[in-house]
Amino acid sequence: MERRSIPFWIRSRKKKMQMNDRVIDTIIESFENATNVFVAAHEDPDGDSLGSQLVMYDFFRSLGKNVAIRNQGRIPTRYANINGIENVRTDSSGLDFVPDLALILESTTLERVGKVKDLIPSGCRIINIDHHPGNSLYGDINLVNEGASSVAEVIHGILKQAGFVFTRQAAEWLYTGILTDTGRFHFSSTTPESLRICAEMIEAGVDPRVMTDRIYFSKSQQQMQVIGEVISSAEVVLDGRLCALTLSKEMLEQRGLDFADFEGIVDYSMYLSSVTIGALFKSVSDDATKVSLRSRSVFDVSEIARRFGGGGHTNAAGAMIKLPIESAKKTLYRIAEEMLDHDEK
């Protein structure tokens, strides 16, 4: 009789899932045993960080815990109208309690949270939940799922296992994380699982049109003018394979705007079909340039970002380059050209 064995990848996936379930059980136990919970995410939080933090805030409150969210940096303007955003603080004030549990989201290292790291006392239990590659597993408990579109997706798994019921509000926060981290279901990180979770959130009352309008289609006329200037700044180099946009301090200062008003503007660098790498250069000071990178297909821009001490995912990454904008561009073009030529060989 023919014996059929289960393919290796199914076996290993199953094993991994069982392992994850056990880790999640331990995490839920820690949540239940905690009294004072501190929640932080990487510096300059994005929609995934903010949405996930707010769901977790709601969850801890529902368990009767004290909870505080602190991030370093500015909250992008597009999230300014999210309900509950006032619970996410970015000032340097201390906490009203001494945390016994720190939940760190979206940070490959503990240093990525910036100065708010100082709010974690020694002896405080650290739970590290992430979906970025290369996480250093610095937590007492670590749950890192690189296959997840967003940390919101990872958190969804925990909350379901904990028996949390998603209200419409909680569903909106979770949906925000997946919507924004998949680039509105555009990136290849969008999986059947991401869409299933979003479907569940829509069933819980999320209105996709309202969410997308609130986050993406709510610009001021001044912001639109800057977007026009940024698009006009496009430099298409390396035989059409790289498109670079510039957002300068001058463009913002005349209008009283901030870099935080333009989260996601890098996406315009990918409008041309010939482009493999998209870049947005922001002149943060005379000798420092922040670069956001995007790519198509298997081209890994996190490798470029890492050359400058940054990081990220295959198709979305970023770094701070300690050079004036024009030299930063030249240096990055050179590295990109080498990598593109190498890939084509």
Using the minimum distance from each CB to Mn ion, give the nearer residue, 48 or 100. 48
Binding to Mn ion, residues 142-161 (CB under 5 A): 150-151
Binding mask 166-205 for Mn ion (x = CB under 5 A): ---------------x------------------------
How many CB atoms lie under 10 A from the CB of residue 73?
A: 16
In the complex, residue closest to Mn ion by CB: 48
CA distance 252 to 260: 10
Binding to Mn ion, residues 221-260 (CB under 5 A): none
Minimum distance between the CB of residue 135 and Mn ion, rounded to whole angstroms?
12
Token representation of residue 250:
């001058």
Using the minimum distance from each CB to Mn ion, give the nearer residue, 150 or 176. 150
Q: Are 59 and 28 in contact (CB under 8 A)?
A: no
Using the minimum distance from each CB to Mn ion, give the nearer residue, 42 or 329. 42
Helix (H) or strand (E) holding 110: none
CA distance 327 to 317: 20
Minimum distance between the CB of residue 181 and Mn ion, rounded to whole angstroms?
4
Minimum distance between the CB of residue 23 and Mn ion, rounded to whole angstroms?
19
Helix (H) or strand (E) holding 314: none
Using the minimum distance from each CB to Mn ion, give the nearer residue, 46 or 58. 46
Minimum distance between the CB of residue 104 and Mn ion, rounded to whole angstroms?
13
Indicate the DSSP class of residue 99. -
Number of residues that bind Mn ion (CB under 5 A): 4
Using DSSP's 3-state secondary structure scheme, residue 283 falls into strand
Helix (H) or strand (E) holding 104: strand 101-105
Question: Should residue 261 be labelled a site residue for Mn ion when binding is judged by CB under 5 A?
Answer: no
Identify which range of 30-38, 46-54, 82-90, 278-286 contacts Mn ion by CB under 5 A: 46-54
Q: Are 38 and 103 in contact (CB under 8 A)?
A: yes
Q: Which of 290, 245, 291 is nearest to 268 (CA)?
A: 245
The region, left, alpha or beta by phi > 0 then psi within -120 to 50, assigned to residue 125 is beta
Indicate the DSSP class of residue 331. H
Using the minimum distance from each CB to Mn ion, give the nearer residue, 70 or 132. 132
Minimum distance between the CB of residue 93 and Mn ion, rounded to whole angstroms?
26
Using the minimum distance from each CB to Mn ion, give the nearer residue, 100 or 106. 106
Q: Which of 43, 44, 48, 58 forms a contact with Mn ion (CB under 5 A)?
A: 48
CA distance 308 to 292: 12
Using the minimum distance from each CB to Mn ion, give the nearer residue, 48 or 300. 48
Footprint on this chain of Mn ion (rule: CB under 5 A): 48, 150-151, 181
